[in-house]
Chains A and B, each alone.
Chain A
């Protein structure tokens, strides 16, 4: 299956889940044998109705579920090129989070200055040199297209920014640590249309540097920005294909029903 996919798509796999099951502490199984690859320098979008497990899947990639006792994974997520199974017990979740960063649904800057927000990831990595920090903060803010708007008020509180700016700040924070994969959990669902366009353009620029996995409720958004799309339903992966293919000629009836709005 995996081998055939490698042939099917001419892109390098950055990470892939293998028979991933996930159980919440109360015993609910949220993921069932999910096999899904994330390709290097591509955007992979996860779509599906509420409760289909797409956020659960995304949050497995940086072991967010480990923060809450009782959650359990089965199966693997392999990160290439080093073939690390990031779900393995012996792999520290912190190590995983240092390689794979995340942007959340609601902008969640720390109640600190703009500068400190971006620098935080570097600080927990032990970076103390003021010049290095300054440079990396500037670079990350430029990478998140926020530099021009905030360069004169880097030491203002992050809360004084607008919602869209706050979300770009969160992207800058996730970007500053030079992650290999960036996870987006419905990053524009709390934003207005203009801010949404900004974030979408930004993601298209970001994929030059890293791989992106995004969960979205908005099918048009998936169609606009992603290279690959995966449709999930009730914890299972129904279909995974090139975005153009999924939206023009899905191979499964369920996918077509969902995309055309007959369902979901």
Chain B
């Protein structure tokens, strides 16, 4: 009887072992597939990037950044494009960040949780997925024709701000939700108002997450081409917008907002569509600049998140 029992348990044991082996095989299969997919994606990206760098290498010098576009490829540079991109992003930043954070804080902290809030929530999440050309069409109708803002830096900045807004709102809300409820209650318990809690606790503690969203949104905005073309950005421009900073009082002016402009991806698009190979080199170099900028911004976002996480433990 005892032997029988033993034999049975031995058999069970072998069954268990073969079962585990079988299950582990699935582990291995999944890990190998995942590895393969990630590796092929990463390698493709690296090859593309290296190809851009190698093609554009002859243009990596100061002249490329300080020259206007030109009919002669060798003399053409991206001065107007990178300044245009910077100014557009400046507008985008100052519009999308305050609006996005305020909207996120309102939705999380103040809005009553009802069907209307749900509706807004669904719409905000959907907006993040709307193709950017749709934003371009909206901006063309609204900013260019209805508000008569022209094909200006202001229009482009506002358009990209629309594009970036959902990203900032969603990341703000997520960062706020990550704040533990007991920290919030602690603040209310000493007599803080909702506004105190937002100002002294919610925004400071959510800061890392919000900033990450802002940077990722900016990184997306910098590469956007379709909506900027739709609103009618120039493709060949040999002048700079008026400087936002002046040497005399009041030191800043806003004339640049009304100026025509081009941005890096449009400049690239323009060069790539020319038949001469020399322009393709310029395009490759511009592409490399955009990718490096995007990578730097994403890197900054990761670093910031890491720093904040190190400092705040719940």
Contact = CB atoms under 8 A, between A and B. Distances in A.
Given A111-B205, A111-B311, A120 B200 contact: yes
Q: Which secondary structure characterizes the binding site on chain B?
A: helix
B190 interface: yes
Indicate the size class of the contact surface on chain A: 20 to 34
Interface residues of B, number: 23
Interface in B187-219: 187-193, 196, 200-201, 205
Interface stretch (A16-24, A28-36, A94-102): A94-102
A198 B111 CA distance: 42
Given A124-B196, A157-B311, A177 B191 contact: yes
A110 B186 contact: yes
Contacts of B183: 108, 110-111
Given A108-B183, A120-B200, A174 B190 contact: yes
A170 interface: yes
B185 interface: yes
Contacts of A124: 190-193, 196, 200
A64 interface: yes
A67 interface: yes
Contact of B182 (A94, A97, A104, A173): A104
A173 B192 CA distance: 13
Contacts, number: 64
A174 B189 contact: yes
Interface string A68-103: 010000000000000000000000001001100110
A101 B314 CA distance: 21
Given A69-B112, A69-B113, A124-B196, A104 B191 contact: no
A109 B189 CA distance: 12
A125 B191 contact: yes
Contacts of B311: 111, 157
Nearest to B205: A111
A159 B309 CA distance: 13
A226 interface: no
A207 interface: no
A217 interface: no
Contacts of B191: 94, 97-98, 121, 124-125, 177
B190 A104 contact: no
A198 to B, nearest CB: 20
A210 to B, nearest CB: 15
B312 interface: yes
Given A104-B182, A124-B193, A157-B311, A110 B187 contact: yes
Given A69-B113, A94-B191, A124-B191, A104 B186 contact: yes
A62 B183 CA distance: 16
Contacts of A62: 189
A101 B182 CA distance: 14
Given A110-B183, A120-B200, A124-B196, A64 B188 contact: yes
A62 B187 CA distance: 12
Contacts of A106: 182
A97 B196 CA distance: 14
30 contacts: A64-B185, A64-B188, A67-B184, A67-B185, A67-B188, A69-B112, A94-B193, A97-B190, A97-B191, A101-B190, A102-B189, A104-B186, A108-B180, A108-B182, A108-B183, A108-B185, A108-B186, A110-B183, A110-B201, A111-B205, A111-B312, A120-B190, A120-B192, A120-B200, A121-B190, A121-B191, A124-B190, A157-B311, A173-B190, A174-B189
Interface of A: 62, 64, 67, 69, 94, 97-98, 101-102, 104, 106, 108-111, 120-121, 123-125, 157, 159, 170, 173-174, 177
Given A104-B189, A120-B192, 15 more contacts: A69-B112, A94-B193, A101-B189, A104-B182, A104-B185, A104-B186, A106-B182, A108-B183, A111-B183, A111-B312, A111-B314, A121-B190, A121-B191, A123-B200, A124-B191
6 closest A-B pairs by beta carbon, nearest first, are A121-B190, A98-B191, A108-B182, A102-B189, A97-B191, A111-B312
